[in-house]
Structures are given as structure tokens and as C-alpha cells.
Amino acid sequence: MESGPSHDNRHATGFVSGIEDLNDTGLTETEYEDFRAFLEESCGIALGDQKQYLLTTRLRPLLEEFRYGSVGELLGHLRKGLGLGLRERVVDAMTTNETYWFRDGHPYEILANTILPELDKRPGVMPRLWSAACSSGQEPYSISIVIQEYLRARPGAFPSGVQVVGTDISPTMLKKARSGLYHESDLARGLPAEQRDRYFKRRGFGSEINPEIRARVRFMDLNLLKPYTLMGNFDVIFCRNVLIYFSAQSRRDILERMIRVLNPGGYMVMGASESLANHASSFQMVRVGGGIVYRLKDPSRPLR
């Protein structure tokens, strides 16, 4: 999961008040508030109070590259639509990409032991799974590995195939995800040695994921505040550690859009600290072992 505003430890421990941040960064209060508004308008991300140090740290390389004298000057050009691809570069700079393989464990166990067996009972249908805000691809590739393990244990399962769609707002992260190439430091974060040996081929600086895992994964550029209708419908949506970065209204809007593209009886997989808020009545909570997923109620059949 997983693009959102980065958390900076130096900010959290080294600055106490907004005034100190303003003095240290050279950022005026007006510039900061204007940029916060721009960021939420552009991608729904809510930048918290007293994040001036984070803002200037993230934007400094762009200010230097484009020779802007201040954040205010940069924002002025953004508002006027100047600078080819500048808006995307700014949003990219302001998102974090904290992600790793098989994050939190339980969702993947539920996928393997509960969700996939259920989807496998529908002959002639190709299940579709969506990894929202997938960052550099670890989550959708982890999903694909779980599917491959399921197929290894059950030859002939899913004769129509399975599709995994990974989306993110960051062009940089999507480029890395599509490459399927990962540095040693990326692979060390959550990837079991057995699965690394089985599904990756070593390349100079790291490893490349095998074609059988990549083949079922498709990556798309998507702003979660934009319509999803062209993506089609899904049986499972992984939206984990994403909504916490959005305002309350944006969270409601995103969940409403996701419900529209989630098939009745489909599953929503969320982060441990996230909730369905006012959409909870549309779902049934499903507890499996130490994990929880949410199943969209299907009026045509009773829920177990």
C-alpha cells in the first residue's frame, strides 16, 4: 500500500511548533496552506498540520531542477497549468511508497484459504482482483504469487485464468512495478526465501520476477478520486493502508466508488487501522484466523 504523504521522523521529533517549522523552512504560512489545498484538490491527500519540513524536503529537488525561488512560485505555475508533467511530478514527490511483500500476512492467508477456493467454484468466470495504490508493485505481485501457489496445489483450477490489476497515481512507482525488477533491499522486506528462489531470477543488482507471475498482473495509472468505471468490475479489492491519508469526505467518496465496481459477494481487504465508516452496512465482516475482510452483501443469496 500504498502511496500517501510520507511521514518524516525528523519532523516528528525535531520540531515542536508550526512557527519553528516556518522559520526553518523559509515557507510562509500562506504558501503552506495554499499547497495543502492544491494537494487535496489534485489527489485527495490531506497533508496534516505542521508538515512544513516534510513539504520543503520533498519539493526541494523540484524547486532546484526548475529553478523556482519558492513554493509559492511553483504553486503559481501549477495553478496556471504551466510546466509539462509538473503536476504529476509534484504529486509524485509528495507521496510515500512504504510497501513490502506479503504485508501483514493475514490478508494473504485469507486470500489463499477462503477467497480463492470460493472464486474457484464459478466455472467459466475469470476472477479479477484490484490492488489500489499499489506503489512499486509488491502487493499485486504478492497476490499473484498466492494465486500461483494455489494453482500449483490444484492443477486445473481457474481454467479461465485470474487477472490482477495494480493501480497507483505515481508514474515513477508504476514504471518500477512494470519492470518487475527489484533491488536486494526491496526483496529483503517480507519475501520468504522459498518464494524468492521459486519466482525470481537473479539479475546483477537484485532479481526479476518470473513471467508466470507478471503475466496475470496489469498496471494502470489511476487517481482514486477519479471514476473507476472503465476498469470494469472486481471480485476482490485490496485497499490497504491507503484511506488513512485522505480526508474524511474523500474516504467516503473512494469507498462509494469502490462499492460500485465490486461484484456482489466480492471482498474488500483493508488495513488493520482502517474502517468502512458509514459504508459498513453494505458489508458483512468475515473473520478468519487473526484477520478480517469485508464481503459486499449480495441480495440474491444469503451470506454465510
- Residue ranges covered by each domain of the chain: 3-96, 106-296
What pLDDT was estimated at residue 29? 84
Do 87 and 95 meet the contact criterion of CB atoms below 8 Å apart?
A: no
What pLDDT was estimated at residue 26? 65
pTM of the model: 0.83
What pLDDT was estimated at residue 21? 37
CA nearest 219: which of 255, 170, 158, 148?
170
**Look-up: residue for cell 526541494?**
60
Do 180 and 209 meet the contact criterion of CB atoms below 8 Å apart?
A: yes
Alpha-carbon gap, residue 255 to 281, rounded angstroms: 12
Active-site amino acid positions: 58, 168
- pLDDT tens per residue across all 304 residues of the chain: 444 444 333 222 222 223 333 334 467 888 888 888 888 888 777 887 777 888 888 888 888 888 888 888 888 888 876 666 788 888 888 876 678 899 888 999 999 999 999 999 988 889 999 999 999 999 999 999 999 999 999 999 999 999 999 999 888 899 999 999 999 989 989 899 999 999 999 988 889 999 999 999 999 999 998 889 889 999 999 999 888 888 888 899 999 999 999 999 999 999 888 888 788 899 999 999 889 999 999 876 554 4
Q: Which CATH class is domain 3-96?
A: mainly alpha
- Which whole-number Å values give the CA distances from 189 to 153, 169, 175, 210, 287, in the listed order? 26, 22, 20, 18, 26
Which listed CATH number (3.40.50.150, 3.50.50.60, 3.40.50.620, 3.30.2310.20) goes with 106-296?
3.40.50.150
Q: What is the pLDDT of residues 20-58, one digit of tens each?
A: 333 344 678 888 888 888 888 887 778 877 778 888 888
What pLDDT was estimated at residue 87? 82
What pLDDT was estimated at residue 81? 66
